[in-house]
């Protein structure tokens, strides 16, 4: 009787302790010169988190119309905890007058931010919910 209760308690504890996959959620806001970057059909922006160790899957978030992003790793929401290098690229899409011509994207954020190795942006993602806001300046090269 006591052994079955102990077994039941251990089983319940292992089920509770095993809940969750250890992944984290990451979201935040991107601003340029103090103003939120508004994504949409004419403005396309991404936030990329690459594992600093070089191993593991990168995560990407699309900047929405309010300047917010939420990371996904492939089709999965969230990212594994750890240290990440961050890159941010926002492009304005110009629709040409010629309907046969391709739309032309123009990088509006400084080029250095687009590269995870040159941006100088790094974040430590912890299990659970994480918020990382990035305030970019056009005064960068």
pLDDT in tens, 4-20: 333 333 333 333 333 34
Measured from the Cβ of residue 33, the count of other Cβ atoms closer than 10 Å reads 10
Mean pLDDT of the chain: 83
CB 101 within 8 A of CB 131: no
φ/ψ of 5, rounded to 5, equals -65, -45
Strand partners, 69: 28
Q: What's domain 22-136's architecture?
A: Sandwich (2.60)
What mean pLDDT comes out for the span 88-109? 90
CA angle 63, 69, 71 (to 5 degrees): 120
The confidence band for 30, taking pLDDT boundaries of 50, 70 and 90, is: very high
Question: Which pLDDT does position 141 carry in this prediction?
Answer: 58
The answer to whether the pTM exceeds 0.85 is no
For the chain, give me the number of helices (H) and strands (E)? 2, 12
pLDDT reading at 59 higher than 50: yes
Question: Which pLDDT does position 23 carry in this prediction?
Answer: 85
């Amino acid at each position: 009787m006591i052994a079955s209760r102990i077994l039941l308690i251990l089983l319940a504890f292992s089920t509770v302790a095993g809940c969750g996959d250890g992944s984290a959620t990451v979201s935040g806001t991107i601003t340029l010169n103090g103003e939120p970057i508004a994504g949409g059909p004419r403005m396309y922006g991404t936030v990329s988190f690459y594992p600093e160790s070089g191993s593991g899957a990168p995560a990407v978030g699309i900047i929405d119309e309010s300047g917010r992003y939420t990371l996904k790793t492939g089709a999965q929401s969230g990212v594994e905890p750890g240290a990440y290098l961050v890159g941010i690229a926002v492009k304005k899409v110009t629709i040409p007058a010629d309907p046969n011509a391709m739309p032309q994207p123009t990088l509006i954020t400084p080029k250095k931010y687009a590269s995870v190795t040159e941006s100088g942006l790094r974040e430590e993602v912890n299990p659970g919910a994480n918020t990382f806001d990035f305030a970019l300046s056009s005064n960068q090269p």
